[in-house]
Amino acid sequence: MQELQLGNITIDVEKKDIKNIHLSVYPPNGKVRIAAPNHMELDTIRVFAINKLKWIKKQQTTFRNQDRETPREYIEKESHYFQGERYLLTVTEEHAKPKVNLHQSTIELFIRPGASEEKRKEILDDWYRSEMKKIIPDLLSKWEAKIGVKASDFRIKLMRTKWGSCNIEKKRIWLNLELAKKPLICLEYILVHELVHLLERNHNDRFIRYMNEFMPKWRMHRDELNRLPFRHTDWKY
């Protein structure tokens, strides 16, 4: 891993077996990383970074000003979110298989006596994952038909730096588990974003034209997602 220094901004540079150069700015502190083709000279990468400096600073400012959620302890009357709505957590200890129930204003967490914070989180995350698995197939079918592509599979995992990703060769979509907590349209936007990558790999003008065609209000949905408070250790898209 090499480094570039542009004023007070440090950029990590990683050379890979790829065709195009990619620039990313990561939360929570605006860390900057460039992935570049193996053959590209460092001076060329520097010129690219200088041309993107205004955008980098804008992204870093956005991250630094973004609201943060307080760390969750998975205790009674703590706020938790599902599909953009706030719920109060209730915790019941019982000698039975752990489970989660959703009610109008509460999320009921049933755990075994003495369950650790880590175990409570695991049970709730499993519930979020199962709820996403119920929602996604219909959304996927809807947008595959509109876009004219077919994903081979979708999977869900907690990702620290992305809301979603697409393995283009395997046509597999990955979605961030945290999307279960965000408004449904935000999940839908990320799903569309990843499906469009099956038509265009890069975030170029062609990609933007596809997004404008299939989801004309995608920028509004993206901005809504990025305005929402970050998890205690979170990301941006």
pLDDT digits (tens, 9 = 90+) for 202-228: 888 899 999 999 999 999 998 888 777
Greater pLDDT, 231 or 58:
58
Decide if 73 is inside a domain.
Answer: no
Same domain, 150 and 56: no
Same domain, 53 and 154: no
Decide if 233 is inside a domain.
Answer: no
- pLDDT at residue 101 in the model: 97
Same domain, 56 and 86: no
Q: What is the mean pLDDT of residues 29-46?
A: 90
CATH code assigned at 203: 3.30.2010.10
- pLDDT at residue 68 in the model: 60
Q: Following DSSP, what letter does each residue of the chain receive, concatenated?
A: -EEEEETTEEEEEEEES-SS-EEEEETTTTEEEEEEETT--HHHHHHHHHHTHHHHHHHHHHHHHS-BPPPP---TT-EEEETTEEEEEEEEE-SS--EEEE-SSEEEEEE-TT--HHHHHHHHHHHHHHHHHHHHHHHHHHHHHHHT---SEEEEE--SS-SEEEETTTTEEEEEGGGGGS-HHHHHHHHHHHHHTTT-SSSSHHHHHHHHHH-TTHHHHHHHHHHSPBPSS----
pLDDT digits (tens, 9 = 90+) for 71-94: 789 999 999 999 999 999 999 999
Task: Give the domain extent around 143.
Answer: 79-227
Last residue of a domain, one of 16, 38, 65: 65
Confidence of residue 235 (pLDDT cuts 50, 70, 90): very low
Confidence of residue 43 (pLDDT cuts 50, 70, 90): very high
Same domain, 36 and 128: no
Q: What is the mean pLDDT of residues 167-196?
A: 95
Decide if 74 is inside a domain.
Answer: no
Percent of the chain scoring above 70 in pLDDT? 92
Decide if 235 is inside a domain.
Answer: no
Same domain, 112 and 47: no
pTM value is: 0.75
Confidence of residue 236 (pLDDT cuts 50, 70, 90): very low
Q: Is the pLDDT of residue 127 over 60?
A: yes
